[in-house]
Structure 1
Amino acid sequence: MSKYYVNKFLYTVDRDPELLQRYIDEPRTFVATWEQSIGPKLLGNEVEASTVHALTHEEREALINHDYVALFEMGAHFFLNLTIFIGIYDEPYMSRTGPLSFQREMAARLQHWRDKDYPSVET
């Protein structure tokens, strides 16, 4: 797994409301756009770019499908994984079942990790 690139995606998209909305609206198109034109940028400028990183097929599909369990299992940073999906799902979940609803849903879906060591987040 390219943990660095997945974590960079989670970090940059979560912190930009426009990017987050694009990710919510058209995840497949947005992930491709991000991988080709946003992700390679270094230091947030148009001049410097990296050609080293790319998402694997599994990472790409997990991001497209908002599969936070698969991302966790592949070693995406837990906090970055949690915060982006709170930004996406907290309001719809909260309107149905109250505060911290998405966090409880995520915890339930990760219950099978309760007695295991968490995947390493080392890059």
Structure 2
Amino acid sequence: MSKYLLNKFLFTVDRDPELVERYREDPAGTVTWWEAERAGQILNCHSGEASTWLRFTDEERRALSQHDHVALFEMGAHPFLTLTLWIAMFERDATEPLGMQLDYARELAHVTLPYPDITT
């Protein structure tokens, strides 16, 4: 498992409006594409350098493909990264003010201290 790769996915998708929409509409396809095309790119590197060893585990791929922010948090994905991406994808569907954020928090209410380690 690579918390770095989970966080890198969340970070890079959240910063590209087209990827946000792609991930919202086709999460499994986006995860498969991103893993094949973008996972090896080095962040903030524009010289074409890449890595070939980073891959999601089946559990990570499943959680990303199902938009399962609870499982992602339990695996160590940073909650601020999932929250900002989930706001971009799902806030528009909320029927009440802060509805998406309250649902997000409610689904994580069972998690108690100490929280999963989110360091990478």
TM-score bucket of the superposed structures, by smaller chain:
over 0.9
* 1:110 aligned residue: 108
* 2:19 aligned residue: 19
* 1:37 aligned residue: 37
* 1:99 aligned residue: 97
- The 5 Å alignment of 1:58-77 reads 58-77=59-78
Residues of 1 paired with 2:104 and 2:51: CA distance? 33
Unaligned runs of 5+ in 1: none
Larger helix proportion, structure 1 or 2?
1
Residues of 2 paired with 1:80 and 1:99: CA distance? 21
CA shift digits 1:62-99 (9 cap, x unpaired): 00000000001111001001111111111101xx1x22
Residues of 2 paired with 1:106 and 1:21: CA distance? 19
Secondary structure of 1:112 counterpart: coil
- State the TM-score, normalized to the length of structure 1: 0.91
Unaligned runs of 5+ in 2: none
1:2 aligns with 2:5: no
How many residues of Structure 1 are paired with residues of Structure 2 in the alignment? 119
